[in-house]
């Protein structure tokens, strides 16, 4: 059979259509031998290979053969069953990866937003259990500063004067600090700080508006608000705690494609999906 031909499989009553070359990714596997008519257990019935195995789990095996990556849903739990299926088909690189269950399981991610108002200024501090999420937020949030006249300090939008972006304060890899609002400078001049959060293009000076936009951004990014409380301190900070299930970085297979190779593969980490 040519590696370009279409192959139809009926696995536990679930029908799959793929190319022979996909099933031959690992030449020593039973699926590759099936295509070469080398495994008599797989029967060809009415042009389809019948396989008496779990069809739902086979969909993950097909995804692996097509992408050479292990990327499972966040609610997936049948690691041992899927490992047994991989062993049945002779896909031992996949079975070995599945045995490293701790690398594939999604992890609970916690993020906390602290917000306090002091006269004409609002202060924000964001803590996150995942440093990559904090890095991503730091790229989305920009603070702009500029001089503002006393008559227009409380305007929700910046004047036409030039605004200068300020770097966010980063006490550690897991948190960031920024502020918005105004503070007295000299005469009738005030120093104004505006906050912009991508993809929203507005520059906001009102702390309550910035808080609303920040919380909305987190919710759209898959976080769930699980608690709100007031932190007992002089600042009377409001604390918003979020959580989400963060899918583990995918595990990929590097296959030796040289002529005469036996399909030996090595695993490597790859960032298949970010923070979700």
- Whether 197 contacts 217, CB under 8 Å: yes
Q: How far apart are CA 206 and CA 213, in angstroms?
A: 11
pLDDT at position 83 over 80 = yes
What is the pLDDT of the chain when averaged over all its residues? 82
Least confident among 27-36, 59-68, 152-161, 166-175: 152-161
Question: Can you give the pLDDT at residue 252?
Answer: 56
User: Which residues, including other chains, have CB under 8 Å from residue 81's CB and lie 6 or more apart?
Assistant: 54, 57
Q: Which pLDDT value is given to residue 126?
A: 96
Q: What is the pLDDT of residue 247?
A: 62
Angle (CA) 197-169-186 rounded to 5° is: 90
Mean pLDDT of 142-159: 65
Q: Give percent of the chain above pLDDT 90.
A: 49
CATH, range 108-151+159-246:
3.30.1410.10
* pLDDT value, residue 250: 52
Task: Name residues whose C-beta falls within 8 Å of residue 166's C-beta, 6 or more positions apart in sequence.
Answer: 143, 144, 145, 193
- Lowest pLDDT segment from 43-47, 154-158, 201-205, 245-249: 154-158
Instruction: Give the residue extent of every domain in the chain.
Output: 6-105, 108-151+159-246
Question: What's the 3-state SS for 224-236?
Answer: EEEEEEEECCCCC
Distance CA 232, CA 175 (A): 20
Phi first, then psi: give them for residue 103, nearest 5 degrees: -80, -20
H or E segment to which residue 21 belongs = helix 20-23
Residue 137 CB neighbours (<10 A): 21
* pLDDT (tens digit per residue) in 88-115: 999 998 998 888 776 677 778 999 999 9
Q: What percent of the chain has pLDDT over 70?
A: 79
Q: What is the mean pLDDT of residues 212-217?
A: 96
| 194 membership: H or E segment, kind and range | strand 189-197
Q: What is the model's pLDDT at position 156?
A: 52
CA 59 to chain centroid, in Å, comes to 22
Let me know how long the chain is: 276
Q: Report yes or no: 92 and 265 within 8 Å, Cβ to Cβ.
A: no
Tell me the pLDDT tens digit for each residue of 221-234.
Answer: 989 999 999 877 66
Q: Reading across the β-sheet that carries 250-255, which strands appear in turn?
A: 69-70, 250-255, 265-270
- Rounded to the nearest angstrom, the gap between the alpha carbon of residue 37 and the centroid of all alpha carbons in its chain is 41
Domain 6-105 identical in fold to domain 108-151+159-246: no
Mean pLDDT over residues 169-191, rounded? 84
Model pTM greater than 0.75? no
Strand partners, 267: 253
At residue 186, the pLDDT reads 60
Q: What CATH code is assigned to 6-105?
A: 3.30.710.10
Residue 271 has pLDDT above 70, yes or no: no
pLDDT of residue 244 exceeding 80, the answer is yes
Is pLDDT above 70 for 169?
yes
From the list 94, 96, 86, 124, the residue with the least C-alpha distance to 204 is 124
């Amino acid at each position: 059979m040519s590696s370009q031909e279409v192959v139809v499989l009926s696995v536990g009553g679930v029908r799959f259509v793929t190319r022979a070359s996909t099933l031959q990714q690992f030449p020593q596997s039973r699926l590759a031998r099936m295509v070469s008519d080398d495994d008599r257990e797989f029967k060809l019935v009415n042009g389809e290979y019948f396989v008496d195995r779990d069809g739902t789990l086979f969909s993950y095996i097909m995804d692996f053969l097509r992408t050479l990556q292990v990327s499972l849903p966040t609610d997936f739990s049948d690691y041992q069953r899927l490992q047994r299926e991989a062993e049945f088909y002779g896909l031992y690189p996949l079975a070995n990866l599945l045995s490293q269950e701790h690398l594939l399981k999604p992890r609970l991610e916690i993020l906390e937003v602290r917000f306090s108002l002091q006269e004409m200024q609002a202060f924000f501090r964001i803590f996150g259990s995942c440093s990559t999420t904090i890095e991503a937020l730091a790229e989305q949030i920009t603070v702009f500063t500029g001089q503002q006249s006393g008559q227009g300090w409380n305007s929700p939008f910046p004047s036409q004067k030039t605004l200068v972006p300020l770097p966010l304060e980063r006490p550690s890899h897991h948190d960031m600090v920024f502020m918005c609002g105004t503070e007295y400078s000299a005469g009738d001049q005030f120093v104004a700080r505006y906050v912009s959060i991508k993809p929203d293009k507005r520059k906001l000076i009102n702390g309550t508006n910035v808080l609303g936009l920040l919380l909305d951004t987190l919710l759209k990014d898959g976080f769930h608000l699980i608690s709100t409380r007031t932190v007992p301190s002089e600042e009377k900070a409001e604390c918003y705690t979020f959580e989400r299930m963060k899918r583990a970085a995918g595990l990929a297979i590097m296959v030796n494609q040289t002529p005469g190779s036996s399909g030996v593969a090595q695993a490597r980490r790859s960032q298949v999906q970010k923070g979700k």
